[in-house]
Amino acid sequence: MYSPSSIFSKFHWCLFMCFMASLVYLCVMFLLIVLLFCFTIFAFVVTNKGAGEVVSERGYKEYNFGDYSNWLQKRVNGNKNWRKINSCLMDSKVCKSHVDGGDEDMKKSC
């Protein structure tokens, strides 16, 4: 049989392990929340000037490429990144001029 002292020590060990698991969980959750907050701030900084202009005939705002931050403009204008963006736009058929083959005009008009 178990002696009272061994049961008591096993209880303390189990309690300590539960505490440590909770502490690790709380630290990971805290880091995830901080990362989400940083990403949100980053997204607002990058798109800060992209407020858009109201177009009376349409139900949405019109955005210009020059309204966004320089960092975002450089990322989109790079040939490597533009090819990825280009393929997504072609698949979704966002712009008629793009689907018709106006690739260089697409950077300016869409």
Structural domain boundaries of the chain?
1-46, 78-110
* C-beta separation of 89 from 95 below 8 A: yes
Rounded CA separation 8/106 (Å): 73
The answer to whether residue 19 scores a pLDDT higher than 70 is: yes
- Average pLDDT on 55-60 reads 64
* C-beta separation of 72 from 49 below 8 A: no
> pLDDT grade, residue 25 (50/70/90)?
very high
Residue 54 DSSP one-character state: E
Rounded CA separation 21/78 (Å): 45
- Looking at the chain, the whole-number percentage of residues with pLDDT higher than 90 is 22
The answer to whether residue 74 scores a pLDDT higher than 50 is: yes
Rounded CA separation 60/52 (Å): 9
0.85 cut: is pTM over it? Answer: no
Q: pLDDT by residue (tens digit) across 78-107?
A: 777 777 877 777 777 666 655 555 455 444
The answer to whether residue 109 scores a pLDDT higher than 80 is: no
